[in-house]
Amino acid sequence: MRIERVLANNPGPFTGPGTNTWVLDDGAGTVAIIDPGPVDSRHATSILEIIGGRAVEAVLVTHTHSDHAPLANPLASDLGVPTAGHARGPGFEPEIRLLDGARFAVGALDLHVVHTPGHADDHLCFRAGNALFSGDHIMGGSSVMVEDMGPYLQSLSKLKGTGLERLHPGHGEEMADPDAVIDWYVAHRLQRHEEVFATVAGGASSVPEVVEVVYRDVDPALHPLAARSVEAHVTLLIAEGRITSEGDELVATPNSP
Using the minimum distance from each CB to Zn ion, give the nearer residue, 67 or 231: 67
Residue 3 CB, nearest approach to Zn ion (Å): 18
Does residue number 67 form part of the binding site for Zn ion (CB under 5 A)?
A: yes
> What does the alpha-carbon distance between residue 254 and residue 43 come to, in Å, rounded to a whole number?
54
Q: By CB under 5 A, what part of segment 217-236 binds Zn ion? A: none
Q: Give the count of residues interacting with Zn ion (CB under 5 A).
A: 3
Using the minimum distance from each CB to Zn ion, give the nearer residue, 94 or 140: 140
Residue 155 CB, nearest approach to Zn ion (Å): 16
The residue within the footprint of Zn ion, chosen from 25, 35, 122, 136 (CB under 5 A), is 136
Residue 164 CB, nearest approach to Zn ion (Å): 20
Residue 145 CB, nearest approach to Zn ion (Å): 9
How many angstroms separate the Cα of 246 from the Cα of each of 61, 109, 240, 255?
Answer: 40, 53, 16, 17
244-248 contact pairs (CB < 8 A, 24+)? 248/206
Return the closest-CA partner of residue 65 out of 122, 105, 127, 126.
Answer: 122
Region binding Zn ion by CB under 5 A among candidate stretches 81-89, 90-98, 121-129, 130-138: 130-138
Does residue number 147 form part of the binding site for Zn ion (CB under 5 A)?
A: no
Residue 185 CB, nearest approach to Zn ion (Å): 16
> What does the alpha-carbon distance between residue 120 and residue 161 come to, in Å, rounded to a whole number?
23
Does residue number 57 form part of the binding site for Zn ion (CB under 5 A)?
A: no
Query: Is beta strand 55-60 parallel, antiparallel or unpaired with respect to 2-7?
Result: unpaired
Q: By CB under 5 A, what part of segment 102-121 binds Zn ion? A: none
Q: Is 228 helix (H, G, I), strand (E, B) or coil?
A: helix
Using the minimum distance from each CB to Zn ion, give the nearer residue, 170 or 178: 170
The identity of residue 110, as a single letter, is: D
Using the minimum distance from each CB to Zn ion, give the nearer residue, 70 or 170: 170
> What does the alpha-carbon distance between residue 62 and residue 228 come to, in Å, rounded to a whole number?
20
Region binding Zn ion by CB under 5 A among candidate stretches 67-75, 83-91, 156-164, 188-196: 67-75
Residue 65 CB, nearest approach to Zn ion (Å): 5
Residue 30 CB, nearest approach to Zn ion (Å): 26
Region binding Zn ion by CB under 5 A among candidate stretches 110-118, 122-130, 131-139, 207-215: 131-139
Q: Is 121 helix (H, G, I), strand (E, B) or coil?
A: coil
Q: By CB under 5 A, what part of segment 160-219 binds Zn ion? A: 170
* Residues near Zn ion, by CB under 5 A: 67, 136, 170
